[in-house]
Structure 1
Amino acid sequence: MLVPIGAGTSIDLTDTGRGPAVVLLHGWPVTAVHWRHVVPVLLRAGYRTVEVQARGLGSGSTGRGDHAKATLAREVLAALDAIGVRRFAVVGHDVGATIALLMAAEQPGRVAALAVEEGVPPGIRVEAAEAETYPSWHRPLFTAPQGVAERLLAGRLDATVDAYLGGSAGPAGLDFGAHVEYMSAYGSDEGLAATLALYRAEDVDALAVRRATRHRLPMPGLAIAGTHGRAGQVAEALSHAVGRLHQVTASSAGHYPAEEAPDAVNGALIPFLRAA
């Protein structure tokens, strides 16, 4: 459903179940389909799930604001206010991890627990290595000077998304249906401006993250990584933000552990949430 939050902006979310709330924020270039193996387990465990599509990620949310992750974090918090969610745990994947971290820093009293899946927020320096196969070519492409990336990618974004999804997944690859869904959501020129804006905000995002992590946040953190993805970088990055750190690394997964190794992710996430 679309939740209006003012200034012409509406946030697309799916609110399911009853119990303590768990907010799920996916990254680029996936959709809420990313959580298809997590949501049923959370619901059976007695949680309320709120799958949020932050503006610029997918095509559901609307509005014309900037794509700084602090702005997106405030928009998600406003949408949660609108549906009556006061206290919650939050799980963020990729770009969604940066949004989740900034939400926790903005309103720490509301956030019971912070889980980060395959996310290394800009502004946090890490020494650990990512997997050799994890692609890094997309970042300089998307942050090329204004006009250059647009000319290079116009009419070719589908091939770019396809290459990134294939290169960032683990050895088995993503489920074919999910891969097709993500291609459909991000592969057209309609989403090009938002994709570039998400990445071009990294300098602003880095400043916001450095401010947010000057002091450790009070909630516990769970780092979820794939051996073929960001690997040890995820836990190292999250250790800069929280004082109580838990971690799980899925040996078969790349950048999408919740899809590629759901048993490992759910097996760590449910106890983590219960203990928070």
Structure 2
Amino acid sequence: MLVPIGAGTSISVTDTGTGPAVVLLHGWPVTALHWRHVVPVLLRAGYRTLEVEARGLGDLSAGRGDHAKATLAREVLAALDALGVRRFAVIGHDVGATIALLMAAEQPGRVAAIAVEEEVPPGIEVDAEEAESYPSWHLPLFTAPEGVAERLLAGRLDATVDAYLGGSSGPAGLDFDAHVGYMSAYSTDARLASTLALHRAAHDDAQAVRRAVRRRLPMPGLAIAGGFGRAGQVAEALSHSVSRVHSVVARHAGHYPAEEAPDAVNGALIPFLRAA
């Protein structure tokens, strides 16, 4: 469903089940399909799941405005307010984890626990050698001076997304249907502006994250990483944000452990949430 939050903005939320609320925020360039192996396990464990597509991510949420992650965090919180969700755990993948972190900093009393999958938020310094397999070529491409990236990528965003998905996944790659679905969601020129805006907000995002982690947040954190993804960087970065960090590294996964190694992820996630 689309949840109106004012100013012409609507946030896509798939709300399923009953029990303690778990908010799931995917990153770029995937959709809520990323959680297809996680949500059924959460539901069986007695949780209510809210799969949220922040504006600019996925293909359903709509509205105008900047793509600073602090802005997106406030929009997600507004959608949860509209649904009457007061307290929740939050799981964020990629840029969705930066949004989750800023949500937790904005309203720490509402967040019972935070799980970060494959993200080192802007503004947090980590050991670069810990993630030699993770591709970084897309960042200078997307953050090239305005006009340059637009001319280079117009009509070619499909090839760019395809290359990123293939290069950022583990040796086995993503499921074919998921890969095709993500391509469909992100590969048109209509998505070019939001894709570039999400990445060009990095400076503002770094400033917001640095402010957010001046003091460690009170909730426990779970770092989820792929051995062919961000690896040990995820736990290192999360240790700058929260005082208690648990960690799971799926050895053969890339940037998408929830898809590539769901048993390992779920095996760590459920005990973590129950203990929070």
With normalisation by structure 1, the TM-score equals 0.99
Equivalent pair of 2:31/2:59 in contact (CA under 8 Å): no
What is residue 199 of structure 2 aligned with on the other side?
199
1:149 to 2:171 alignment = no
39-48 vs 127-136, which moves further:
127-136
What is residue 86 of structure 2 aligned with on the other side?
86
Matched length: 276
Deviation at 1:117, TM superposition (A): 0.0
Q: The residue matched to 1:65 in structure 2 has which SS?
A: coil
1:12 to 2:6 alignment = no
Amino acid at match of 1:11: I
What is residue 219 of structure 1 aligned with on the other side?
219
Deviation at 1:132, TM superposition (A): 2.6
Q: 1:176 & 1:18 partners in 2: Cα distance? A: 32
What is residue 27 of structure 2 aligned with on the other side?
27
1:172 to 2:172 alignment = yes
Equivalent pair of 1:28/1:57 in contact (CA under 8 Å): yes
What is residue 53 of structure 1 aligned with on the other side?
53
Deviation at 1:127, TM superposition (A): 1.6
Cα pair distance change 1:56/1:178, threshold 3 Å = same
Deviations 1:36-95 (A, max 9, x none): 000000000000000000000022111111000000000000000001100000000000
Amino acid at match of 1:36: R
Deviation at 1:128, TM superposition (A): 4.9
Q: 2:127 & 2:136 partners in 1: Cα distance? A: 16
Q: 2:260 & 2:61 partners in 1: Cα distance? A: 26
Q: 1:188 & 1:255 partners in 2: Cα distance? A: 23
What is residue 253 of structure 1 aligned with on the other side?
253
Equivalent pair of 2:114/2:221 in contact (CA under 8 Å): yes
5+ residue gaps, structure 2, are none
Deviation at 1:21, TM superposition (A): 0.3
Deviation at 1:213, TM superposition (A): 0.2
Q: The residue matched to 2:114 in structure 1 has which SS?
A: strand
Deviation at 1:134, TM superposition (A): 1.7
Q: 1:14 & 1:112 partners in 2: Cα distance? A: 20
Deviation at 1:252, TM superposition (A): 1.0
Q: The residue matched to 2:123 in structure 1 has which SS?
A: coil
Amino acid at match of 2:204: V
Q: 1:130 & 1:189 partners in 2: Cα distance? A: 34
Deviation at 1:130, TM superposition (A): 3.8
What is residue 108 of structure 2 aligned with on the other side?
108
Amino acid at match of 1:187: S
Give the percent of matched residue pairs that are identical in Structure 1 and Structure 2.
84
Deviations 1:165-204 (A, max 9, x none): 0000000000000000000000110100000000000000
Q: 1:62 & 1:222 partners in 2: Cα distance? A: 30
Amino acid at match of 2:243: G
Q: The residue matched to 2:136 in structure 1 has which SS?
A: coil
Amino acid at match of 1:117: E
Cα pair distance change 1:130/1:164, threshold 3 Å = farther
Q: 1:59 & 1:264 partners in 2: Cα distance? A: 28
Q: The residue matched to 1:129 in structure 2 has which SS?
A: helix
Q: 2:106 & 2:178 partners in 1: Cα distance? A: 33
Q: 1:142 & 1:7 partners in 2: Cα distance? A: 28
Q: The residue matched to 1:92 in structure 2 has which SS?
A: strand
Amino acid at match of 1:261: A
What is residue 73 of structure 1 aligned with on the other side?
73
Equivalent pair of 1:129/1:231 in contact (CA under 8 Å): no
Q: 1:269 & 1:95 partners in 2: Cα distance? A: 19
Q: 1:114 & 1:142 partners in 2: Cα distance? A: 28
Equivalent pair of 2:20/2:88 in contact (CA under 8 Å): yes
Equivalent pair of 1:17/1:47 in contact (CA under 8 Å): yes
Deviation at 1:131, TM superposition (A): 3.3
